[in-house]
Amino acid sequence: MIAHNSAGQGTATPLKVWNIPGMSVSSVNPAIEIRDNGDDDDDGDGAVSLKHIALNDADKKYVLAKDIALGAGWSPVGTGSGAEAFTGKFYGNGHTITVNGNPLNKAYTGIFGYAEATEIRDLRVHYAADTSAGASATNIGGLAGYAGGGTAVRNVLVTGGGALKYNGGGTPYIGGLLGRLEGTSAAPSSIENCYGGLSLDVTGSDPRAGALRGIF
């Protein structure tokens, strides 16, 4: 099924409407394609780069259309609570995000830095070599640094040709999958069918580390 988007004058741009199991998509609100981590910051044509995913917008749904790689200086999706949190839905479509360099120095470090009330699924993350979180990092995860209430992580595999490293003086939460996962009875969070095969190399005054998550 193909929908069309027309921004102002000119020819309508065809948009693929992804049939994503468990996610509500339609020609009115189709899933937006992620094809790279470049400079595309306008999702009006049905695609946007990973680093320009909308934050604090629960209506946004994203699908990874191909394998992509992150080079040195990449920034996590979502860097804090509220307006800076990722709250949409992300469908990996069985593709891989490969990390080839260190991220920016952020308190919340992972492909997703700070996420809540979200669903992230069907994705592989591979760290090609040793990857160091910045000294300011407090929540560090192979997939997400912090996952707040109402978050569901399903069918995600995190692997590494190197280790996820932290060498600071703080007390970070660090996990192969998630640094920290929180939830409440009203907004429970869950991990389903996930694997954290990423080595951790942590130095800190009182780190909390685990293969899947630093703290639940």
Position 204 confidence tier, pLDDT thresholds 50, 70, 90: confident
Which phi and psi angles does 162 have, rounded to 5°? -145, -170
Q: CA triplet 33, 36, 42: central angle to 5 degrees? A: 60
pTM of the predicted protein model: 0.88
User: How high is the pLDDT of residue 195?
Assistant: 93
Domain count, the chain: 1
pLDDT (tens digit per residue) in 72-118: 999 999 999 999 999 999 999 999 999 999 999 999 999 999 999 99
User: How much is the mean pLDDT over the chain?
Assistant: 87
pLDDT band at 19 (very low <50, low <70, confident <90, very high): low
**How remote is the C-alpha of 181 from its chain's centroid?**
14
Q: Which of the two residues, 43 and 15, has the higher pLDDT score?
A: 43
pLDDT of 3 over the 70 cut: no
- The domain of 34 spans 2-215
d(CA 73, CA 190): 30
Instruction: For the chain, count helices (H), then strands (E).
Output: 0, 21
C-alpha 107/C-alpha 104 separation (Å) is 10
- Tracing tokens 């996590």 back to the chain, one arrives at 76
> CA angle, corner 202, sides to 131 and 158, nearest 5?
50
At 12, is the pLDDT very low, low, confident or very high (cuts 50, 70, 90)?
very low
C-alpha to C-alpha distance for 99 and 70, rounded to whole angstroms:
5
A 10 A CB-CB count for 80 gives 14
**What is the DSSP code string of 143-206?**
SEEEE-TT-EEEEEEEEEEEEEEEESSS--EEESSEEEE---SSS--EEES-EEEEEEEEESSS
